[in-house]
Each structure stands twice: as C-alpha cells, then as structure tokens.
C-alpha cells in the first residue's frame, strides 16, 4: 500500500484506486467509497459510478490527454496522474496544464513510480499529493520539497519567475 | 561576462548539496542504478566502461582566467592532467571517481561553474557564436539572451524528463558560427522593419542518426516573447515526443511525423496560453543581462598599427598565423584571435593542465581576462590589441599553441571516439592524427584553403560529421572498424548535410581518400573557389570516381 504525503506530512488516503482494466461490474463491491476512476471508465460509466460511490475522481495514464475532461474539471475534487516509470516526464506537463492553463484548483496527485528525487519538481508543476512507491521512506521524501529554496522560472508554487523578483 | 548574484549562488550550492545526498544514497544502495542514472547524468557524470567522464558546462563558451585556473586544478587533481573541449563549447574530464564528484562540483561552484544539465534528457547548455559581442556582422550580442535562456532552462521543473536530450543554439550574426540550424531549437536574432529586436525560431534540426535542418516555427517574435515561445515548443515536445524508441525521440522526428504545419499549430495553441503571462520578458531584465556583457574598457586605437605591419612583413610564420587565426573586430585597433587546439600529434580539443594555466595567463595579459571556447574545439581571445598581436604570437609559440591552421584541413573537429567513448563504433582520434600527418605542410594547407573536416566515432554525431565539408563516420562492419566518408556538408548560414560517397573504408585508407578528394578539388577549382563551392558546382560524382577507381 502506497504511503501518501503532501508537501509537509503524511496524510490518510481516502480514495480507492480502480485499476484500468476494470469495468463497471466492480462498482457495487466498492459501494459507498470515494473512487479514483481510470479516464476511460469515467467517460463511459460516470452515471453508474455516481450512483455507487460517495465521490468520484479520475486518474490518467501518462499517454492520455485532458481534452475530454476540460469541461468537467469543476466537478472533480481530485485528478491523479500516473507515472508508469519515474522517468516518463509527460505528467509534469499535464499537471502544469491543469493548474496553470485550465485553472484547476482540486487535488493533483502523483501515483505510480513516485520517488524522492522527483518530488521537488513535481510540486513545482502543481502536484500537491504524492502516493509514494512502497519502498520509499516518507520522512526522507518530505525533505525533498526543501531541496531548492527558489526557482528561476515560473512554477505552480510561485508564478513569478526570478527575473521579475530580482531587485 | 555574467556574474552570479545571491540567488544564483544559493541555487548552485543547493544543487551541489542535493547531488552529494543523492550520491551518498546511491553508494549506500538506497538508489538503484536506473534511479541514479538520470540524476548523475543531469549533473554531467557518465559512468562508462572505458573511462568515466564528467562534462562541465561552459555557458555559451565563456571562461574567465579564474575559471581556467580552476579547471587546470581539476585536470590535475581528478583527471590525468588534461581535459577535452567538446563540440558544444563544454569541457570534459575523464576518470573522476564517483565518490569524488560532489567535491569536484563544490570546487567548480567556487568559480560559478557547474555540470548541471550537461547530459541527460533535459535542456542542455545553450551555445552561440564565439565572436558574440565583437563580430563585425553582428545584429546584436547574443549572450544576454543565452543567459536568459540558461536561467529559464536551469532546473526547469517541467522539462527534466524529456523524451530525449534537447539543445538550443542562438545566433546573433549574419554568418552562423554556432551550427544553429542543426539544433533542436535554433534562435536567430532579427530586427523587424521598425528596427526592433526579435527572434526567428527554428525547431527540429539535429544530427545523429537522422540529420535534419531545422524548420521555421516562428518567423518573427518580439524579444519579450522569447521564453513563452520556447516554453510552448518544449511543452508540445514533452507531451508528444516519442518515448517508445530512443532513436525516434528527438524533436526532429516529432516535427516530421506531425507535419510542420500541424506542429506549428500545436505550438501556437500552447503559445496562446503562455503569451502575455509571467514568463513574458521585460526590458528591465534584458537590460540587466546586457549589463554583464558590456564592451570592456577598449582604448581608442588606430587600425593596423605600424608595429603590426612591420612584424607581418618580417616574419612569414607570424604572417601565416595572422592570416589564418586572426579575425576582424568591430572595434578599430582590436582583433579576435583563435588559438588552435589542433596541433598534429595531439587529439583535437585536448587541453593540458599547463595549457589551461597558459590560457589563463594569456587572457589576463592580452584579452581582459576572458576566453571563449568554440564549437570547433578551439579557443578565442576576443579582444586583443592589434599592436600586441606579435607579442601574443611569440608567447603562443613559447607555449606551443601557435598552430596556424584555423579553418584549414587539419583544424579537424573530432569526437573522443573509441579511445574513450563506450558508444563508439570506431576510433576517431587516430584518424584525425593520420590526416593531420598527411597534410602537415603549411604551404600545402594554405593552398588548399578553407575546408572543414569533421569526424564522429558513431551515429550519435558528436563530431558533427554531417555538416563537415568532408565528414568521416565510424561504422561497425562485422566487428571491424570502418569509416564512411561524405562531402558537401556545411554548418554555415545555408546549412547543408553531406552526401555519402559510397562503401566505407578501412582505417588505413582514410588519409589516401582525403588526399584524393583534395586532388580532385585542386584540379577542378576555379579562381579562389573554396572546397565546398567546388563540390557544389561539380557535384559528388567526380570525387566518387577518383576515390573508388583504384579499387575497380
Ligand atoms: S559520436 Fe559516438 S563515439 Fe563519438 S563521442 Fe559521440 S557517442 Fe561517442
């Protein structure tokens, strides 16, 4: 079971991740929970899911796009972005698009191959919760957010690039 | 040159501390090889079979004498007393032990240097014209914009795990000395009809397995839009560049597979999101960066003083060096001087500890304490008084740095190849040396005139063989080292890719092949025609015929 952190502490995980191969038949067994649905299942069976779950979020794999979600964002409290492998950098741009361009204010969670040495940049792209790979030391991971005290470019943490802040 | 303020210094210290911690965790077994790999690469460290290697960034090629002395120190403490100038204006050292690297980086940080993003799938060091700021045909000094790009791209959180490496070059002159069109992004400074500075931006150029000339994505953007335009291109590439096949992962493949128009449209859509936002540059920032690249304290001097003319008249070797290695300067009474690191018998681009120290002294004595590294693996003293040229020449002769072969056949661009690089198909340094020995004659070289000869040890094309007037590529033929030869390439403003002559050659045949090519040129050339122009005029066939006729 992945340990969940935000940028300051360990936090309880209230969401149940539904695997991508699943169909709506799994819904009833998980009835009443908060469910993170894979994008395709959300698009095909949102209504059935809404009838079973107490809340719905969506997760995307790194090759997927936000196109079909753009007008639904305000109803989603959480979007999780999967890292099939930590070195697949596509989700950094997805998070940036969500936060900056689409003004998404809900939770953006990193799931999958989420490791200590990527956390600082993930935060700067707009992620705010991190489901760590099970072998990661959460206390050590929490230090990663302090690796750098500032950034040259505009980030989700501070949209003002350094050149606009230099005195 | 650019000087760090408190922000730059702090971030660099934090980076050194971060890598120290990562290295410790790796050595303790808490990070796997695969997890540590991108971390060390983005700090410049290759761990390879033949020789581990650390690549240090030299932003747009500029080095101060203080930095040169630090590099000399590093070459003796961590390498075997020498370093290697690369074709991307960086410097590499071999043999650093992994556990020593954090310490080495701390040494570099003391002189505002680092190895950040010199490797790995991220935005690499931005390169430019070695004559920036002094070139006669300059539209505007490119270095302040390079510095702006350096800062934006350094620790850019979104682009640390791109599909593949990403290289940007900036050109501020009419003639292109930065091979700008064969970069992932090429930025050309331009003025519009109102005299305002802006940029033309190309994307999708590159060498390697599939060499391509970049295509225009933005014909002209306002100078304030530089970073938003770059960010838009990078974002499209990060999302859509291929990650399933390493050989198809560069942006050139994305542009080709998407189609230029569709690619432009995607970029345009991203740009609309970014344009006018916080990344929009300000004149204050541009002026701030320009303030670091002000002209040094030039004296009012007359052009070509009597002492220079006298020395030229009386010393033929000096005259030959002068005509080859000295370039006109936009200030009267000054010249830009190239110091060749292509002496026969020495690996192209190799520089010893003594030479690094000598360069530092030369810079202090003759050129305001600064040098520039070129993508042709030579070094420039950019601001030398013409009346000092003869003194400089004599000092260079004392330091054995007086080779007067700039842009000549034996000013060979050459990657480290099979002697050092684990990826190589074949050696490259011995080929360079054999060719240099064949043509080690000042008069012959002068008669042959300007020719670029570029050698890469494999398809990765670190020696830029595709854009050499003569290109040599190491290939593997059933476990044996062979070489494919091409002609007609150029990295100048009208960049061109060379055409392969035909079947590849054994190592021992290469000097004779080059000799045949040169013979055909000397037989066929018209008055003052350069090698490349003769190739353009008569085509590849006459060369091919000569080279292969012996075998038939
Ligand atoms: S071209 Fe090939 S052999 Fe030469 S340095 Fe690059 S990777 Fe190594």
- DSSP secondary structure string for all residues of B282-337: -HHHHHHHHHTT----PPP--SS-HHHHHHHHH-HHHHHHHHHHEEE-SSTTEEEE
Q: How far away, in angstroms, is A135 Cα from ligand 1 center?
A: 37
pLDDT for A1-58, tens place per residue? 689 999 999 999 999 999 988 888 889 999 999 999 999 999 999 999 999 999 999 9
* A94/B239 Cβ within 8 A: yes
Give me the mean pLDDT over the B241-263 stretch.
Answer: 96
Domain boundary among B370, B398, B426: B398
If asked whether residues B394 and B419 sit together in one domain, one would say: no
Residue B48 has pLDDT above 80, yes or no: no
Q: Which of B364, B398, B432 delimits the end of a domain? A: B398
A3-165: what CATH class? alpha beta
- Chain A positions touching chain B (beta carbons under 8 Å): 65, 86-90, 92-94, 96-97, 100-101, 115, 117-118, 120-122, 124-125, 147-155, 159-164, 166
DSSP 8-state class, residue B369: T
Q: Supply the CATH number for residue B79's domain.
A: 3.90.480.20
Which residues, 6 or more positions from A12, have their beta carbon under 8 angstroms from its beta carbon?
Answer: A4
Name the pLDDT band for B104 (thresholds 50, 70, 90): very high
In a domain, B406, yes or no: no
B247 touches chain A (CB under 8 A): no
Do the chains contact at B7 and A166, CB–CB below 8 Å? yes
Name the residue in chain B with its Cα closest to that of A150: B11
The verdict on B142 and B279 lying in the same domain is: yes
* Residue B550 pLDDT > 90: no
How large a percentage of chain B has pLDDT more than 70? 99
pLDDT digits (tens, 9 = 90+) for A77-99: 999 999 999 999 999 999 999 99
pLDDT at position B423 is 87
Residue B141 shares a structural domain with residue B253:
yes
Are B164 and B32 found together in one domain?
no
> Is residue B551 over pLDDT 60?
no
pLDDT level of residue B47 (50, 70, 90 thresholds): confident
Cα–ligand 1 centroid distance for B418 (angstroms): 8
* CB spacing of B160 vs A101 below 8 angstroms: no
- Residue A1, pLDDT score: 67
pLDDT of residue B210: 82
Domain containing B385 equals 306-398
Is the same domain home to B164 and B100? no
Which tens digit of pLDDT belongs to each residue from B136-192? 889 999 999 999 999 999 999 999 999 999 999 999 988 887 788 889 999 999 999
Residues B90 and B148 in one domain: no
Residue B424 CA, ligand 1 centroid: distance in Å? 5
Q: Is the pLDDT of residue B354 over 80?
A: yes
* pLDDT tens column, B192-236: 999 999 999 999 998 888 889 999 999 999 999 999 999 999 999
Q: Does one domain contain both B346 and B466?
A: no
Structural domain count of chain B: 4
Residue B411 has pLDDT above 90, yes or no: yes
Same-domain status, B75 and B100: yes
Residues B205 and B320 in one domain: no
User: Is B538 a member of any domain?
Assistant: yes
Per residue in B424-440, pLDDT tens? 999 999 999 999 999 98
Q: How confident is the model at residue B480 (pLDDT cuts 50, 70, 90)?
A: confident
Q: Does the beta carbon of B31 lie under 8 angstroms from any beta carbon of chain A?
A: yes
B552 pLDDT higher than 60: no
pTM over 0.95: no
Q: For residue range A54-80, what is the model confidence (pLDDT) as tens digits?
A: 999 999 999 999 999 999 999 999 999
**B493 pLDDT more than 80:** no
User: Distance, in angstroms, between B189 CA and closest chain A CA?
Assistant: 21
Can you give the pLDDT at residue B52?
83
* Helix, strand or coil, per DSSP, at residue B208: coil
Would B129 be classed as within a structural domain?
A: no
Instruction: Tell me the CA distances in angstroms from B153 to A11, B7, B156, B230, B363, one per residue in order.
Output: 33, 15, 5, 10, 29
Q: Where residue B166 sits, what CATH number does that domain have?
A: 3.30.413.10
Give start and end residues of each alpha helix (H) in chain A.
39-52, 90-96, 119-125, 138-143, 162-165
At B207 the pLDDT is 86
Residue B116 lies in a domain: no
**Do residues B287 and B143 share a domain?**
yes
pLDDT at B49: 64
B422 CA closest ligand 1 atom index: 8
Choosing from B262, B292, B322, the residue where a domain stops is B292
Same domain, B467 and B536: yes
β-strands B350-352, B82-85 pairing: antiparallel
**Pair B514, B435: CB distance under 8 Å:** yes
Question: Which position has the higher pLDDT, B410 or B228?
Answer: B228
For CA atoms B232, B115, B7, B172, the dihedral sign is negative
Is pLDDT at B394 greater than 80 in this prediction?
yes
């Amino acid at each position: 079971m992945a340990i969940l952190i935000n940028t300051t502490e360990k936090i309880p995980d209230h969401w149940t991740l539904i695997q991508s191969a699943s169909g709506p038949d799994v819904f009833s067994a998980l009835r009443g929970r908060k469910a993170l649905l894979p994008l395709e299942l959300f698009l095909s069976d949102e209504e059935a899911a809404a009838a079973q779950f107490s809340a719905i979020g969506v997760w995307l794999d790194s090759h997927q796009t936000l196109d079909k979600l753009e007008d639904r964002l305000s109803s989603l409290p959480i979007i999780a972005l999967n890292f099939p492998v930590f070195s697949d950098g596509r989700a950094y741009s997805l998070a940036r698009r969500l936060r900056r361009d689409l003004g998404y204010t809900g939770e953006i969670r990193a799931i999958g191959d989420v490791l200590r040495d990527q956390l600082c940049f993930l935060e700067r792209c707009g992620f705010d919760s991190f489901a760590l790979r099970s072998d990661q030391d959460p206390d050590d991971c929490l230090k990663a957010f302090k690796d750098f005290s500032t950034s040259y470019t505009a980030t989700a943490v501070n949209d003002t690039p350094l050149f606009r802040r230099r005195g | 040159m650019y000087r760090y303020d408190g922000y730059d210094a702090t971030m660099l210290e934090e980076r050194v501390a971060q890598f120290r911690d990562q290295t410790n965790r790796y050595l303790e077994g808490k990070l796997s090889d695969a997890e540590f790999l991108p971390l060390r690469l983005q700090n410049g460290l290759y761990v390879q079979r033949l020789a581990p290697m650390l690549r240090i960034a030299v932003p747009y090629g500029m080095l101060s004498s203080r930095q040169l002395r630090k590099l000399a120190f590093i070459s003796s403490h961590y390498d075997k007393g020498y370093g290697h100038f690369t074709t991307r204006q960086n410097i590499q050292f071999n043999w650093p032990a992994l556990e020593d690297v954090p310490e080495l980086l701390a040494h570099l940080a003391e002189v505002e240097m680092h190895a950040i993003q010199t490797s790995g799938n991220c935005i690499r060091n931005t390169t430019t014209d070695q004559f920036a700021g002094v070139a006669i045909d300059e539209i505007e000094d490119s270095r302040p914009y390079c510095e702006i790009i350096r800062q934006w791209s350094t620790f850019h959180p979104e682009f640390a795990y791109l599909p593949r490496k990403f290289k940007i070059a900036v050109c501020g002159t009419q003639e292109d000395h930065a091979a700008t069109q064969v970069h992932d992004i090429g930025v050309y400074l331009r003025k519009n009809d109102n005299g305002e500075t802006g940029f033309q931006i190309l994307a999708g150029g590159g060498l390697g397995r599939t060499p391509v000339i970049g295509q225009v994505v933005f014909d002209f953007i306002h100078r304030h839009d530089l970073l938003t335009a770059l960010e838009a291109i990078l974002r499209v590439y990060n999302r859509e560049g291929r990650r399933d096949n390493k050989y198809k992962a560069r942006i050139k493949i994305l542009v080709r597979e998407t189609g230029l128009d569709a690619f432009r449209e995607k970029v345009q859509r991203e740009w609309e999101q970014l344009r006018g936002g916080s990344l929009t540059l300000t004149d204050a920032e541009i002026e701030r960066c320009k303030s670091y690249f002000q002209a040094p304290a030039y004296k009012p001097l007359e052009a070509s003083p009597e002492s220079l003319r006298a020395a030229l008249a009386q010393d033929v070797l000096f005259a030959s060096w002068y005509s080859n290695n000295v370039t006109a300067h936009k200030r009267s009474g000054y010249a830009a001087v190239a110091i060749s690191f292509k002496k026969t018998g020495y690996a192209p681009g190799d520089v010893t500890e003594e030479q690094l120290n000598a360069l530092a002294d030369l810079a202090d004595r003759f050129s305001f304490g600064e040098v520039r590294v070129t993508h042709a693996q030579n070094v420039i003293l950019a601001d030398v008084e013409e009346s000092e040229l003869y003194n400089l020449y004599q000092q260079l002769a004392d330091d054995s740095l007086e080779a007067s072969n700039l842009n000549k056949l034996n000013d060979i661009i050459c990657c480290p190849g099979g002697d050092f690089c684990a990826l190589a198909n074949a050696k490259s340094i011995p080929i360079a040396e054999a060719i240099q020995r064949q043509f080690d004659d000042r008069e012959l070289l002068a008669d042959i005139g300007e020719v670029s000869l570029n050698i890469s040890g494999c398809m990765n094309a670190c020696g830029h063989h595709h854009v050499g007037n003569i290109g040599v590529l190491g290939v593997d033929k059933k476990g044996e080292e062979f070489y494919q030869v091409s002609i007609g390439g150029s990295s100048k403003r009208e960049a061109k890719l060379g055409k392969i002559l035909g079947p590849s050659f054994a190592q021992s045949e290469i000097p004779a092949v080059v000799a045949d090519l040169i013979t055909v040129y000397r037989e066929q050339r018209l008055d003052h025609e350069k090698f490349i122009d003769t190739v353009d005029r008569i085509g590849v066939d006459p060369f091919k015929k000569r080279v292969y006729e012996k075998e038939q």
